[in-house]
């Protein structure tokens, strides 16, 4: 059976982010969600020297660099939005699972932005994945 | 419409483009480079949070230690996220597949925290297994 290389990488991401969620939950037992965001970013900074690619980073086009920078900005803003939703009266048991549905936006926009399409079978996989993440987050 | 719902839409408006921009950036920049830029991008938001709190944070040692550990694990995971995009995988599939990390969280809670699975979570694991099987082909 041939398994695409990215599948193995995704497996590693799942394990690392699975542990992240556990540590985040432990963190919020002691400090606020906003402080968690701050210390998590400090953790990012601690990790940065190990992946810093050196001068290579300065040779990329401005728009590619902007994509990477904006990805970080939007991800952090989304986290703030999630905290704000909970502060505005949204129950964690409802807001959390619903927020996990954000890949729907990617599925909708990918054909227009990335010129990518998915097969019917992959579409079924995406549907099963979205149902799974909501059920597991309840 | 409840106020929290608009904030939820705001989350979608941020996280959807975040994944798309990650894919676009990863087409040209190495996973390590993307992780560095991603970290730099999150700093303005952190500064905003700090300024709003008057640059005061709780000083609970355990909270700080767990927060830092979460950050390191999250960064390592993001590195893999960018690497998966760079390896040529479909953005919709990779975003959905990596979004299923609660599978691991539930299993970790089962093993280390001795939590019990609810029937809803069992059904969720079933759907996740089907999704993984489809994606791996």
Write out pLDDT tens, residues B30-76: 999 999 999 999 999 999 999 999 999 888 999 999 999 999 999 99
Q: Please tell me the least confidently modeled range out of A57-66, B56-65, B104-113, B123-132.
A: B104-113
B69, B117: one domain: no
The confidence band for B1, taking pLDDT boundaries of 50, 70 and 90, is low
As a whole number of angstroms, the distance between CA A89 and CA A121 comes to 38
More confident residue, A6 or B24: B24
Q: What is the rounded average pLDDT for all residues in chain A?
A: 92
What secondary structure does DSSP assign to B93-127, as a single string?
HHHHHHTTTHHHHHHHHHHHS-PPPPHHHHHHHHH
B81, B50: one domain: yes
Residue B47 has a pLDDT of 97
Please name the residue of chain B whose CA is at the shortest distance from the CA of residue A49.
Answer: B36
The confidence band for B81, taking pLDDT boundaries of 50, 70 and 90, is very high
From chain A, pick out residues whose CB is under 8 angstroms from the CB of B127. 128-129, 131-132, 135
B15, B52: one domain: yes
Instruction: Indicate whether B21 belongs to any domain.
Output: yes
Residue B136 has a pLDDT of 83
Provide the number of structural domains found in chain B. Answer: 2
Q: Determine the structural domain holding residue B80 and report its residue range.
A: 11-90
Q: What is the mean pLDDT of residues A72-88?
A: 92
Residue A6 has a pLDDT of 87
Instruction: Indicate whether B95 belongs to any domain.
Output: no
As a whole number of angstroms, the distance between CA A130 and CA A135 comes to 9
Is the pLDDT confidence value at B80 over 70?
Answer: yes
Test B134 with A122 for CB contact under 8 angstroms. yes
B27, B46: one domain: yes
Test B102 with A18 for CB contact under 8 angstroms. yes
Residue B111 has a pLDDT of 87
Instruction: Indicate whether B6 belongs to any domain.
Output: no
Instruction: Indicate whether B5 belongs to any domain.
Output: no
B86, B105: one domain: no
The confidence band for B13, taking pLDDT boundaries of 50, 70 and 90, is very high
Instruction: Indicate whether B4 belongs to any domain.
Output: no
Nearest CB to A114 within list B5, B20, B35: B20
Q: What is the mean pLDDT of residues A89-115?
A: 90
- For the full predicted model, state whether its pTM sits above 0.95: no
For residue B102, how many C-alpha atoms fall within 13 Å in the half-sphere facing its CB? 25
As a whole number of angstroms, the distance between CA A64 and CA A59 comes to 10
Q: Is B2 exposed, middle or buried (0-12, 13-18, 19+ CB in 10 A)?
A: exposed
Instruction: Indicate whether B1 belongs to any domain.
Output: no
B55, B35: one domain: yes
Instruction: Indicate whether B3 belongs to any domain.
Output: no
What is the percentage of chain A residues whose pLDDT exceeds 90? 69
B16, B73: one domain: yes
From chain B, pick out residues whose CB is under 8 angstroms from the CB of A132. 100, 103, 124-128, 131
From chain B, pick out residues whose CB is under 8 angstroms from the CB of A85. 4-5, 7-8, 10-11
B19, B81: one domain: yes
Instruction: Indicate whether B66 belongs to any domain.
Output: yes
B71, B108: one domain: no
């Amino acid at each position: 059976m041939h398994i695409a290389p990215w599948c193995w990488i995704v497996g590693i991401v799942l394990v690392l982010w699975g542990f992240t969620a556990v540590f985040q939950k432990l963190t919020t037992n002691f400090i606020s969600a906003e402080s968690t965001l701050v210390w998590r970013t400090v953790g990012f900074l601690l990790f940065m020297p190990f992946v810093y690619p050196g001068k290579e980073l300065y040779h990329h086009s401005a728009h590619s660099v902007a994509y990477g920078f904006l990805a970080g900005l939007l991800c952090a803003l989304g986290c703030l939005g999630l905290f704000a939703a909970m502060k505005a009266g949204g129950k964690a048991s409802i807001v959390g699972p619903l927020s996990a549905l954000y890949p729907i936006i990617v599925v909708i926009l990918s054909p227009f932005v990335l010129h990518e399409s998915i097969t019917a079978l992959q579409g079924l996989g995406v549907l099963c994945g979205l149902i799974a993440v909501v059920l597991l987050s309840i | 419409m409840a106020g929290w719902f608009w904030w939820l839409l705001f989350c979608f408006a941020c996280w959807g483009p975040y994944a798309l921009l990650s894919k676009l950036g990863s087409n040209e920049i190495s996973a390590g480079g993307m992780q560095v830029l991603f970290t730099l991008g999150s700093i303005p938001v952190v500064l905003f949070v700090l300024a709003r709190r008057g640059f005061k944070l709780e000083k609970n040692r355990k909270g700080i230690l767990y927060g830092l550990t979460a950050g390191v694990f999250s960064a390592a995971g993001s590195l893999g996220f960018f690497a998966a995009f760079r390896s040529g995988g479909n953005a919709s599939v990779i975003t959905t597949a990596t979004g299923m990390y609660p599978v691991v969280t539930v299993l970790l809670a089962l093993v280390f925290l001795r939590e019990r699975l609810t029937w809803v979570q069992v059904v969720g694991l079933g759907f996740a297994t089907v999704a993984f099987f489809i994606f791996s082909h």
